């Protein structure tokens, strides 16, 4: 279970590495023997062992990763000036084995507007997400996503983003962390994002399709048949999604833009449910992938939203769809260090 925090202070603990030993019994003799090529990463604040890694594993502390993220922000958004970016949210499991930290700019220098309801402009802005781990589960990664400020709904468009990744097994990783961003990269990214949003407001989607579409996009599957113990938590999740859908459809209308906000709301603040097994990061990437695909799909002549949503649901239930859902689940942890 991921913990969500407004500040990363308790993630910035120092760590140390120590040798790993195993108890060996030979007849009546018992002794400790060091395991070659392995070491334990220990949280100095609690003396808790976080993980066991190989000697080749290059540890980057969360404090260092946050510093690199600031450098990434400055490289990707030179117009933001010298002011530091602030932490929006931090995410980590109770083990503290890995973390993700989101940074946003405190001023409006990098924000931009898109047409909203009744042509009232809405403000969006970029966020930079840094991923780090002490337990080999995550590479050191930096990705740029978008956030709708009025509700803090965020998403990452995987194929239209600015990303950097560094393998923890790379020697002298600190010397290799460099951020080279082409001029106007974010301007182009912003234009693509706007083009994805443009057709959504004109795409009529009835309210009753919001929940099934959200479930399909975020790979949240309803077990068939539902076991007795699953009925109550599934009904609770369904009611939560229905309530979120009604809220956005009331504010934004029954259209693709409202559906996008339902999807990104659930992705950004996943309800506590046993049926949602993926991390927030993976959910937001799914939301971004869907936006990029749907922005083109709904432009096609003869597009019928009922058939589209039905197709989404059937595709998710097919063997190939299940395999893709599993890969999506694995992708949350497959960016191996």
Domain range annotation of the chain: 11-54, 62-195, 200-331
State how far Cα 4 lies from the chain centre: 12
Cross-strand pairs, 91: 4, 100
Confidence band, pLDDT 50/70/90 cuts, at residue 106: confident
Confidence band, pLDDT 50/70/90 cuts, at residue 5: low
- Does pLDDT of 286 surpass 50? yes
The CA distance from 109 to 246, in Å, is: 33
pTM for the whole thing? 0.85
- The pLDDT of residue 325 is 45
Mean pLDDT of the chain: 85
The CA distance from 43 to 39, in Å, is: 13
State how far Cα 195 lies from the chain centre: 22
Highest mean pLDDT among 10-14, 238-242, 326-330: 238-242
Burial (CB count within 10 angstroms: exposed 0-12, middle 13-18, buried 19+), residue 94: exposed
- Beta pairing class for 121-133 and 112-115: antiparallel
- The pLDDT of residue 3 is 58
Region 282-300: mean pLDDT is 91
Confidence band, pLDDT 50/70/90 cuts, at residue 172: low
- The pLDDT of residue 315 is 79
The helix-helix angle for 280-297 and 256-268 (nearest 10°) equals 170
The CA distance from 164 to 149, in Å, is: 25
Query: pLDDT tens, 14-39?
Result: 999 999 998 888 777 788 889 999 99
Cross-strand pairs, 127: 145
- Look-up of token digits 């402009």: 121
Percent of the chain clearing pLDDT 90 (strictly above):
47
Percent of the chain clearing pLDDT 70 (strictly above):
86
- Ranges 151-155, 159-163, 178-182: which has the least confidence: 159-163
Region 247-274: mean pLDDT is 95
The CA distance from 75 to 178, in Å, is: 9
The CA distance from 251 to 201, in Å, is: 12
Answer yes or no: are the C-beta atoms of 218 and 319 closer than 8 Å.
Answer: no
Buried b (16+ CB within 10 A) or exposed e, 265-286: bbbbebeeeebbebbbbbbbbb
∠ CA 98-104-106, rounded to 5°: 140
Of residues 10 and 273, more confidence is placed in 273
Per the omega criterion (within 30 degrees of 0), is the bond before 166 cis? no
- The pLDDT of residue 322 is 43
What 3-state class would DSSP assign to 41? Answer: strand
- The pLDDT of residue 15 is 95
Cross-strand pairs, 90: 5, 101
The gap between the terminal CA atoms of the chain, to the nearest Å, is: 20
State how far Cα 57 lies from the chain centre: 24
- Does pLDDT of 102 surpass 70? yes
The CA distance from 35 to 131, in Å, is: 29
- The pLDDT of residue 329 is 43
Residue 66: partners with Cβ closer than 8 Å, 6 or more residues away: 8, 12, 87, 101, 130
State how far Cα 175 lies from the chain centre: 27
What 3-state class would DSSP assign to 279? Answer: coil
Query: pLDDT tens, 77-101?
Result: 887 765 678 899 998 988 999 999 9
- The pLDDT of residue 173 is 67
């Amino acid at each position: 279970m991921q913990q969500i925090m407004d500040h990363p202070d308790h993630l910035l603990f120092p760590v140390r590495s120590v040798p790993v030993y195993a108890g060996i019994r030979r007849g009546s003799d018992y002794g400790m023997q060091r395991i070659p090529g392995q070491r334990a990463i220990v949280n100095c604040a609690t003396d808790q062992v976080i993980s066991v890694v190989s000697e080749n594993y290059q540890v980057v502390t969360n404090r260092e990763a946050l510093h690199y993220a600031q450098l990434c922000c400055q490289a990707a958004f030179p117009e933001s000036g010298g002011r530091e970016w602030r932490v929006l949210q931090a995410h980590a499991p109770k083990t503290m084995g890995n973390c993700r930290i989101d940074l946003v700019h405190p001023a409006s220098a990098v924000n931009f507007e898109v047409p909203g309801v009744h042509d009232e402009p809405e403000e969006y802005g970029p966020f930079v997400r840094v991923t780090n781990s002490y337990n080999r589960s995550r590479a050191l990664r930096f990705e740029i996503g978008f956030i709708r400020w009025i509700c803090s709904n965020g998403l990452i468009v995987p194929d239209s983003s600015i990303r950097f990744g560094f393998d923890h097994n790379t020697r002298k990783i600190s010397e290799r962390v460099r951020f080279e961003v082409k001029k106007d990269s974010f301007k182009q990214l912003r234009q693509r994002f706007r083009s994805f949003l443009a057709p959504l407001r004109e795409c009529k989607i009835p309210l009753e399709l919001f929940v099934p579409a959200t479930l399909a996009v975020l790979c949240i599957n309803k077990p068939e048949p539902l076991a007795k113990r699953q009925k109550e938590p599934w009904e609770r999740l369904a009611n939560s999604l229905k309530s979120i859908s009604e809220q956005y459809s009331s504010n934004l209308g029954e259209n693709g833009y409202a559906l996008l906000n339902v999807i990104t709301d659930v992705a950004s603040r996943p309800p506590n449910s046993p049926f949602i097994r993926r991390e927030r990061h993976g959910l937001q990437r799914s939301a971004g992938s869907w936006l990029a695909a749907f922005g083109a799909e709904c432009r096609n002549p003869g597009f019928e939203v009922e058939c589209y949503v039905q197709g989404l649901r059937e595709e998710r239930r097919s063997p190939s769809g299940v395999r893709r859902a599993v890969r999506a689940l694995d992708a949350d942890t497959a960016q191996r260090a």
